[in-house]
Structure 1
Amino acid sequence: MPRPKSEFDDLYPCDFYTPTELLESGQMYTVYEIARLLQDLEADAELEPGEEEILLDWAIPWLLSHGDDLVIAEPPTDADPGFYGLREDGDLPGES
């Protein structure tokens, strides 16, 4: 259910990192690692139970809004998440 803005003590700009600010060239990351990086945590930071789901609420829209700047790789197994990285020249077939 939506809530009135007046119910919140503070409002902040919705500024997110760009892919080049967040991700290292030549590296691939899971959505879970990206979620941590978006919160200025280490990609392998330990989280309290339930925190990961909250962080994913930030990461999934970020991935969708920056899809043109990213590439995705199939997960190693069906039980693993996919991997995302910066889209660079020559990453995709037919690109040079």
Structure 2
Amino acid sequence: MPRPKETFERTQPLTFKSPEEVLEEETMYTTYEIARLLQGLDPGWELDAETESVLLDWAIPWIMVNADSFVFAAPESDDEPGYYGLK
């Protein structure tokens, strides 16, 4: 439910890091790994499905907004994710 802004003790600007600040240049990542990195987590960190879903809700739009910075590698099979890396 919406809340009046004054009910919050503090607000801050919503900022996102650039792809170059998050990813290593010579490495390709799945969207799941990118989602973890955006939160400052190790890309191999195990997460429960609900948390991973929330992180993907942030990561997928970030990837789309920054699409000009990425290259894509198709998955090796239909049941695996694709990989993204810096151009």
**Structure 1 length as normaliser, TM-score?**
0.80
Q: Using CA pairs below 8 Å that are at least 6 residues apart, which structure has the higher relative contact order?
A: 2
Please give the alpha-carbon distance, in whole angstroms, between the structure 1 residues aligned to 2:55 and 2:7: 20
Percent identity of the aligned residues? 47
Return the alpha-carbon distance in structure 2 between the equivalents of residues 43 and 17 of structure 1: 16
Higher helix share: 2
Counterpart code for 1:6: K
How far apart, in 1, do the equivalents of 2:63 and 2:18 lie?
A: 10
After TM superposition, list the pairs within 5 Å mapping 1:55-70 onto structure 2. 55-70=55-70
Give the aligned partner of residue 28 of structure 1: 28
The residue aligned with 2:5 is: 6
**1:79 matched to which residue of 2?**
79
1:6 shift after superposition: 2.8
Residue 3 of structure 1: how far off its partner (Å):
2.6
Q: Displaced runs of 4+ in structure 1, greater than 6 A? A: none
1:11: Cα distance to partner? 3.0
In the alignment, structure 2 segments of 5+ residues that lack a partner are: none
Q: Given the superposition, is the C-alpha separation of residues 5 and 78 from structure 1 closer, same or farther in structure 2, using an over 3 Å criterion? A: farther
CA distance in structure 1 between the partners assigned to 2:15 and 2:38 by the alignment: 11
| Superposition deviation, residue 26 in structure 1 | 1.1
